Chains A and B, each alone.
Chain A
Amino acid sequence: MNASLSFRGASVTAVIVVLLTGIMAIASLLPASSPVQVSPFIMTLAGKYLAYAMLALAVDLVWGFAGILTLGHAAFFALGGYAMGMYLVREIGARGVYGNADLPDFMVFLSWKSLPWYWWGSDHFPMALVLMLVVPAALAGLFGWLAFRSRVSGVYLSIITQALTYALMLAFFQNGFGFGGNNGLTDFKDILGFDLHSPYTRAGMLFVSGLILAGALLAARYVVGGRFGSLLIAVRDAESRTRFLGYRPEQVKLLVWVFSAVIAAIGGALYVIQVGIINPGEFAPANSIEAVIWVAVGGRGTLSGAVVGAILVNLGKTLFTAWLPEMWLYGLGALFMATTLFLPQGLMGLMHHMPKKRPSEVTPEVTNPEGGEA
């Protein structure tokens, strides 16, 4: 099969994800004395990696298949996380430090008297789901509609996506914004009545995360696999040509952009449940750029590569920061450069041995910076 169809392996990856998370979930319930028992620490890490894999999948959808290099996808991830975090904070109820059943601790601390309107209904889990899906989708829809309609593309688009997440970060850092300021939302106790710290909840959550990631992989594969997928690639490679065929590329991009934002948001929600904290740092532009490198390492435009890349790079980060904390930034920086220079197709490309015309040195034919989409 040809390069654009290298995402076919996504269903295999989906099955592997479900199997692995299932096995880990069961192994985590074994007694601590068992040699194959998976510790809670590993479970938390695994949950975090799966959440990041969702973010990477979202980035791959827009970057790999629509040519939109997003430097702000962490914004949707964090928004999804905050939506879930709001519910989890309300679940604490009167067990908080101040013992206030109606107000989260940070609001009591700010001596607020009542919940702001946008917290309405946040104590209901379905509301959390609605917020998690609707808010990022609405923001992505508005932003994408404005951007794609006026044909902002290439690096311009990258830079304003970065500005978007930066603006959101500044906003969420403010106490008055109503989401806990600096500290964000944390100290969660339980979800839907299940104790978040119990091994059973952890095991269940990891398996659910695996199922959701597998589902997202299959959904993404469906979206990019059919006729819409062909159009998506057509738009990526020759956007103006599709216009002369009568297509509206802005609609195509908008659709995949919103879909991708929703996947990122679900990832954010899974992250908050398993890692137990969400703060404005998640909006940092650096996070979004890191997510891009996960995809680049795994292999752009392959779906499975995004998942593999996210897990491998984060595993590397965990190990590096434990053993040689000083070296991590060198490693990450070198990873960025080495991947773009020597491994443009990522690990998946290596596996598939796809020869691609990538001259070692190319002369800039197009001086117009928005001209070539990489």
Chain B
Amino acid sequence: MAEFAMSGPAALSGRKMRNGVRGIFAAVLLSLLFIQPHNARADEDVFAGLATTQFNTIASSVDQIAQQGGPRALPVLRALADRKLFATREGDGLFIRTDSGWEDARSGASATPDEETLRPVRVNNRVRLAVAAAEAELELVSGTPAERQASAMLFYQRHDPAMLPAIDKALSKTDDVTLKNTLQDARAAALLSPGAPVSDAQAQQQAVAKLKAAGGLDARGVLAQASTSEALDPATRKAAEAAVSSIDFKLKLWGFGQDAFYGLSLGSVLLLAAMGLAITFGVMGVINMAHGELMMIGAYTTWLTQKAVLSVAPALGSFSLVLAIPAAFLVCGALGIVIERGLIRFLYGRPLETLLATWGLSLILQQVIRSLFGPTNVAVTTPPWLSGSFHLGGIEVTIDRLAIMIFAVVVMAGLMLVLRRTPLGLEMRAVTQNRRMAALMGIRTARVDALTFGLGSGIAGLAGVAVSQIDNVSPNLGQSYIIDSFLVVVFGGVGNLWGTLAAAATLGVGGKALEPLVGAVSGKILLLVLVILYIQRHPRGMFPLRGRGVES
């Protein structure tokens, strides 16, 4: 559960940064107002300030560049942000380093300066922020569509009334519907913000309606402020208040959606962990307490695969995870077959003894991994194509978690297919239902047992691959999943894969739903207690098998 906590601090620091940017941006705007007359002299070299070593001068130069615009403004600012802008040690020559060589910053023509005399233009935080703000303003007018959209968003988030003219100017120049919409939101937000030019009640209410429709935290912030702002019409204030509660309601709904996403993501991890158990426990009646350790070995296989790929073919590094999937399946599947042949088969019909023996095995597996790779976490990297997130309405969807959900569904579908459509699946079901009859019909039951156990273990390996992406990979990894996954199997009803799916989703979402109410640990405890009580009322889980003979 700890992995979810990370989004908190990360989001916080993001917010802090944005506040900082907002402050700097206001400062920049203020300075812009004062240097307005200056700018009339078009021949003035606004780039000269960049060649100094004073941060303040550099920053104000950035502001001026942004104000003046022109074809060179953006490339120079970007070069500055990327630390590719160099100045001569004497004089005010400015050069940009390109992939092939150098170009003159002012003209863009390729150049061959004496590299000995060059030094990089220094950048500190204030300069960087000024660059970011300036870039946004420039991009609004001359950037690519995506850049213009991004800078329109920036204006919306800052909703500074002083920017109204710039917004209006941009509005008049664009036909792009999305951009226009964002700019209108930005305009509405600016109109309702403190310091906005006096407007009539109708315009204000239109702005409120616009923001209400836009929704989100930014709109809520502006509206909440507006609802108490003396500068606004009383009717507007009332409308703003209503809009705030409407947005709050929507945010709450999205919040539920977000919790559901996290819950389902947790559930899909549980599903992966429990599916292998559903095979070994549900189909074969074998309690494998080393199941978690097989997951752990799957995770270590992922790590080793990554290391191997990086040393053999570094170019394929980001796809090593794809290779790890079959690798973990085969390693754990083979290990499972060895375990079945070497240990479990001597204990059939004695489930409680199997439990003890496999627990012993789990201790040994842990210690083996500890001796080989050390007791501490190993670093499994997340490939770039699994990093990041996107927004689905008000829900932030992290790609790695989404991938695990998809992976869990694919594995489950594959497992169903194996059970229902392959000769092995048919033999497995035959052996489960009537071992003696199956043997008489020529099915090699011992082989089927070994393969079934291997299949369950291989799936544990797959779960290990998934878990390696979101959890610490250490010899203790398995321990934290074993109780949960057994509960999932038992809760769902033994021998029923759909039940396992439903139980995993219920426990995942239930856990996440309880978390904000009672806290993470208490939520976990409460959930355990609820499941214990549920199993006592329904000893055979949510989807029990019924019939004569099941009972005894």
**A363 in contact (CB, < 8 A):** yes
Question: With a CB–CB cut-off of 8 A, which chain B residues contact A171?
Answer: 521-522, 525
Q: Which residues of B contact A164 (CB under 8 A)?
A: 528, 532
Report if A119 contacts B (CB, 8 A): no
Name B350's contact: one of A150, A156, A158, A374 (CB within 8 Å): A374
Contacts of B284 in A (CB 8 A): 364, 367
Tell me if B348 and A289 are in contact (CB < 8 A).
Answer: no
Identify whether the interface residues of B are mostly helix, strand, loop, or mixed.
helix
Among residues of A, the one whose C-beta sits closest to the C-beta of B367 is A329
Contacts of B445 in A (CB 8 A): 363
User: Is A362 in contact with chain B by the CB < 8 A criterion?
Assistant: yes
Residue of A nearest to B531 (CB): A163
Which residues in A have their C-beta under 8 angstroms from that of B525?
167, 170-171
Q: State whether A332 and B360 are in contact (beta carbons under 8 Å apart), knowing that A150-B536, A361-B345, A368-B550 are contacts in the complex.
A: yes
Chain A nearest CB: distance from B519 CB in Å? 9
Say yes or no for B468: interface residue by CB 8 A criterion. no
CB distance from B33 to the nearest CB of A (A): 52
The residue from B345, B355, B361, B524 contacting A158, defined by CB atoms under 8 A apart: B355
Asked if residues B435 and A367 are in contact (CB atoms below 8 Å), the reply is yes
Q: Interface segment, A14-22, A75-83, A312-320, A335-343?
A: A335-343
CA distance A146 to B349 in the complex (A): 27
The answer to whether A363 and B348 touch across the interface, beta carbons within 8 angstroms, is yes
Asked if A292 is at the interface (CB within 8 A of a chain B CB), the reply is yes
Cβ-based interface call for A125 (8 A): no
Tell me which residues across on chain B come within 8 A of A341, comparing CB atoms: 343, 346-347, 357
Q: What are the residues of chain B within 8 A of A340 when measuring CB–CB?
A: 347, 350, 353-354, 356-357, 360
- Within the assembled complex, what's the spacing in Å between the Cα atoms of A20 and B36? 99
Whether A333 lies near B362 (C-beta < 8 A) is yes
Given A167-B529, A336-B356: A146 touches B483 (CB 8 Å cut-off): no
B535 CB-CB contact with A under 8 Å: yes
Contact between A162 and B357 (Cβ–Cβ < 8 Å)? no
Contacts of A329 in B (CB 8 A): 363-364, 366-367
B487 interface residue per 8 A CB criterion: yes
Instruction: Please name the residue on chain A nearest to B348 by beta carbon.
Output: A364
CB distance from B537 to the nearest CB of A (A): 6
B360: min CB distance to chain A, Å: 2
Give chain B residues whose Cβ lies under 8 Å from the Cβ of A30.
none
In the complex, the answer to whether B357 meets A337 with C-beta atoms within 8 Å is: yes
Q: Closest approach, in angstroms, between the C-beta of A267 and any C-beta of chain B? A: 21
A296 on the interface (CB 8 Å rule)? Answer: yes
Give per-residue flags for A306-349: 1 if the beta carbon is below 8 A from chain B beta carbons, else 0: 00000000000000000000100110111111011100100000
For residue B382, CB closer than 8 A to chain A, the reply is: no
Binding site for B on A (CB under 8 A): 69, 71, 143, 146-147, 149-156, 158-160, 162-164, 166-167, 170-171, 173-174, 240, 285, 289, 292-293, 296, 326, 329-330, 332-337, 339-341, 344, 360-374
Q: A150-B538, A289-B359, A335-B360 are in contact. List 6 more A-B contacts (CB 8 A).
A: A162-B483, A285-B483, A326-B371, A336-B359, A340-B353, A344-B353
List the 3 closest A-B pairs by CB distance, nearest first.
A336-B360, A333-B364, A333-B363
| Cross-chain pairs A/B with CB under 8 angstroms, 16 sampled | A151-B539, A152-B539, A155-B287, A158-B352, A167-B532, A170-B524, A289-B359, A333-B364, A336-B359, A341-B357, A363-B348, A363-B435, A364-B285, A365-B435, A372-B350, A374-B351
